[in-house]
Structure 1
Amino acid sequence: MTNSGRASRLDTIPTAAAGGGAAAPSTPSLEAERALHFLPQARERLPGHVPAAPEPEHKTLPAEKDATAPAGGRGLVSRRPPSRPRNPRRRAFGAVIVMFLVAGAVVGVRYGWPRVAEHYPILPQALAVEISGPAILDAINQTSVAATIPGRIVTLPVDRNDVVKAGDVIATIKSDDLERQLAAAEASVESANLAVRQAEAEMRSADAAQQNAQESHDRLQKLVSSGTVTQASYDAGLATLRKAVAEHAAAEAAVARAEAEHKAAISNADVQRTYLDDAVVRAPIDGVIVSRSRNAGDVVSVGTAIVSIVDPKSIVMSARFDESAIASIHPGQDAALVFPSRPDAAIAGSVLRLGREVDNETREFTADITPKTLPTNWALGQRGRAMITIETKDNVLAAPSELLSRRDGQAGLWVASHGRAHWRPVTLGEVGDGRVEIRDGLQPGEILLKRDRLFEGMRVHPPSATS
């Protein structure tokens, strides 16, 4: 039997029903579909059949399935013809072209597009040479007001930032015991005064008795010479005189003792009065109260600090400099002081005095600088920076310090040349007034550049120019 005959016979084979041997009724379309399903298997069983090479797997897209499937039934499986292989050389060439275009655009934007940069022409001018160092606000005349007696603070009428004069009341300490002690001392003075008066009265009485005894002795002495009176009478008169002299001496000693006791009582009263006066704490100098460490009601002992007073006229900036600069600084030199709170507002000053000791570790010495004015708000210990002008140099090239940059430790500046930026190494000199001397590397009239980011060959123009 031929293959076509067998195939035609197989096309007519009915399919069995799922539940038994009875043939299920079928329509011509269903029969054809079933025949197509079993046809490949039947061909494989034919003698001499050579299996065909497997076709490349092709995944049918959902859209293709929908297009080939009839409504309400299974569609025939369609196979998409294989795509044509792509040329890898063409893809690589296209990528190279794109890379060249991107690189050209980057280079064009980097070196062809002009950027705005500030221009600074450098010309010969005077330069005030300065040396600078850290400084701390301090005061030469300052004092800590402390209690000199123990007790409880009753009143404290002052506070920080108050301006006081010498003798103004700072605080009052409770002094009931001192008042009683002073009263007792004053009573002792009065008692000693009465004792002096009594001793003086007794001395006057002794003086009168001595004078009377002396006169009696003189009469007896004349009478005994003439034999009018006996020797015994004369001896009795002499004894009376001696007794009167002794009593007079005792009276003088009593007066001296009473006067000494009176002086001691007065001194004791003065001491008690001083103690009582110390209960009222007073300002020793004119100045401003910079701190208050106690409040009313606090108990203080001798030496307990209550407030601190500073004389504003004695305020200085104590600056530190390297010992190598000690020969360049002299009293009277001009100086400028800058505080971090107002870095753009320098305060003029002058050198007052130099320290005579060098720190063993930092090798620095101090110099006190008197400011001509003080900031509105200041505080002792406030940090700042002091710049002292040590000389003035004429006709030098000086660049703003903020324009300097470094490459591998070499200082340099960005210079404009034919509209492009170029970094140039320079040799630096003295520093002063926010500028630095350029000793080598620049010529008068050249233009320095300032911009947040500069690179070699950048096209630049000043802010007022247009590209």
Structure 2
Amino acid sequence: MRELSHDVSDPGAGSQSRALTGIVMKLNPRSLFLVVGVTVFFAAFVWLLTTRGPLAPVGVEIAMTTRTDLRPSVYGIGTVDAQHAYAIGPIQAGRVLRVLVDMGDPVKAGQLLAEIDPVDLHPRAEAAASSVARARQNAQAAQAQVTEADSRARLAQANSARYQALYQQNFVAMEMAESRRHEAAAARAALTAARASATGAQRDIGRAEAELHAINRVRNSLKLASPINGVVVAREAEPGATVVAGQAVLRLVDPARLWVRARVDQARAHGVQVGQAADIVLRSAPGSALPGKVVRIELQSDAVTEERIINVAFDPVPNQLYLGELAEVSIHLPGVRNVLTVPRAAVSRQNNQDGVWQAVDGRARFRPVQLGARTAERVQIVSGLAEGDSLVVYSAKQLDEDMRVRKQQLTQP
């Protein structure tokens, strides 16, 4: 009765079941296997799509905020350069007569390094010296004329005064007294002319001596001497070569004053000051750090590369350095103690705001923070996080707000 009453109460279900059973009975084993395979493949595809494919949550590695001491530093790269370099060359065009030193030779201040052919300077100097001698002789003659004119003037003045007295006593005629007065005036004029000639002769001496001095200076400038105690780093002209005014024949540097012209990212150069200690690692000695210090921060930065030029001097200077060698510089900034820090890899930037990503209820959330001191591995968090907060350090791909995430170990432990 129960089975009958069941069949009577649900005749549709029974018919569907019998129809499905009939279809299955009609399928051959090969068709049945194909249907099962397609079903399994579809299920596997959906599983991969939602767990490993584009619809799967992004794998993220989680870390915690911790307190630690930081010794921040700023990294830069540059080349070894001389603080003072000297280009030694003539002040006028000429032909190189001889070069007495070679590249790498140490030199002393005042040492003769090279000489330019003086060409006609020697005859010109001799002619100028003769002009000076002649001008001095002319000056002596002019002075003798002054002495003679002065004597004649005094004598003429005395005669004029005497004849004036005799004329007053009616011993001589007026014409004779006027004649003597005229002679006195002429003698005074001759004295003035003689003195003017003597002054001109003295000026001629000065002009001739200036010409001789100028020629001697030019001749001495053709003898190229070292201005410092240094080292020859370049020999740019050989004997017989013609050089123009200002062209370098030799280049010198002071080996006791060398530095590294380091380029530092402007975003990380904040806090760098003159006098701060630094470590210098040369390309030729990667395992050895040389002590140095910041001696100058150039005002003109590189607008193209967005780098600041910081000059770090060796302290002390090593015995052997090569100009132009690549060097890495680490400038030590003031350290901080017991501050909240996160791994540097966890810091991101969204919409011009520094922050970190956090996994909240399986979703990515960006949290703005204020950064402080930085090292190569960790960054100080001034505000925005608390000690023990979790945050995303690494992610399988770039995160976006509200993206599905799941915790996963992405790096080697």
TM-score, normalized by the shorter chain, greater than 0.5 = yes
Deviation at 1:375, TM superposition (A): 4.6
Could you state the TM-score of these two structures normalised by the residue count of structure 2?
Answer: 0.66
- Preserved contact between residue 429 and residue 437 of structure 1 (Cα < 8 Å): no
- For the residues of structure 2 that align with 1:351 and 1:253, how far apart are their CA atoms? 66
Deviation at 1:268, TM superposition (A): 0.8
Describe the shift of the 1:228–1:255 C-alpha distance in structure 2 as closer, same or farther (beyond 3 A).
same
Q: Identity over the aligned pairs, expressed in percent?
A: 26
Q: 1:320 aligns with which of 250, 255, 263?
A: 263
- For the residues of structure 2 that align with 1:221 and 1:328, how far apart are their CA atoms? 98
Describe the shift of the 1:129–1:139 C-alpha distance in structure 2 as closer, same or farther (beyond 3 A).
same
Which structure 2 segments of 5+ residues have no match? 1-65, 347-355, 357-370, 381-386, 390-408
Describe the shift of the 1:307–1:338 C-alpha distance in structure 2 as closer, same or farther (beyond 3 A).
same
Deviation at 1:323, TM superposition (A): 2.3
Matches within 5 A, 1:19-418: 127-394=70-337
Aligned to 2:395: none
Could you state the TM-score of these two structures normalised by the residue count of structure 1?
Answer: 0.58
- For the residues of structure 2 that align with 1:249 and 1:438, how far apart are their CA atoms? 92
- For the residues of structure 1 that align with 2:372 and 2:185, how far apart are their CA atoms? 104
- For the residues of structure 2 that align with 1:295 and 1:134, how far apart are their CA atoms? 36
Deviation at 1:215, TM superposition (A): 0.2
Q: Which has the higher relative contact order, 1 or 2, with Cα contacts under 8 A spaced 6 or more apart?
A: 2
Deviation at 1:430, TM superposition (A): 6.2
Deviation at 1:150, TM superposition (A): 3.0
Per-residue deviation, residues 418-450 of structure 1 (Å, max 9, x unmatched): xxxxxxxxxx99664xx62388999xxxxxxxx
- For the residues of structure 2 that align with 1:283 and 1:224, how far apart are their CA atoms? 80
Per-residue deviation, residues 228-252 of structure 1 (Å, max 9, x unmatched): 1110011110111111011111110
Describe the shift of the 1:255–1:184 C-alpha distance in structure 2 as closer, same or farther (beyond 3 A).
same
Per-residue deviation, residues 135-188 of structure 1 (Å, max 9, x unmatched): 222222111111223332222111112222221111012224111110110011
Per-residue deviation, residues 272-307 of structure 1 (Å, max 9, x unmatched): 111211221111223211111112232223222111
- For the residues of structure 2 that align with 1:391 and 1:263, how far apart are their CA atoms? 65
The residue type paired with residue 199 of structure 2 is: A
- For the residues of structure 2 that align with 1:304 and 1:430, how far apart are their CA atoms? 49
Is 1:437 paired with 2:378?
yes
- For the residues of structure 1 that align with 2:373 and 2:117, how far apart are their CA atoms? 64
- For the residues of structure 2 that align with 1:165 and 1:257, how far apart are their CA atoms? 45
Number of equivalences: 303
- For the residues of structure 2 that align with 1:299 and 1:318, how far apart are their CA atoms? 34
The residue type paired with residue 308 of structure 2 is: F
Describe the shift of the 1:355–1:371 C-alpha distance in structure 2 as closer, same or farther (beyond 3 A).
same
- For the residues of structure 1 that align with 2:142 and 2:379, how far apart are their CA atoms? 96
Deviation at 1:360, TM superposition (A): 2.1
Per-residue deviation, residues 326-376 of structure 1 (Å, max 9, x unmatched): 431111111111122111111111111212223222222211111113455
- For the residues of structure 2 that align with 1:383 and 1:263, how far apart are their CA atoms? 57
- For the residues of structure 2 that align with 1:141 and 1:266, how far apart are their CA atoms? 36
- For the residues of structure 1 that align with 2:232 and 2:174, how far apart are their CA atoms? 89
- For the residues of structure 2 that align with 1:229 and 1:168, how far apart are their CA atoms? 81
The residue type paired with residue 100 of structure 2 is: P
* 3-state secondary structure, aligned to 1:350: strand
- For the residues of structure 1 that align with 2:212 and 2:113, how far apart are their CA atoms? 25
* 3-state secondary structure, aligned to 1:296: coil
Deviation at 1:318, TM superposition (A): 1.4
Per-residue deviation, residues 15-38 of structure 1 (Å, max 9, x unmatched): xxxxxxxxxxxxxxxxxxxxxxxx
* 3-state secondary structure, aligned to 2:220: helix
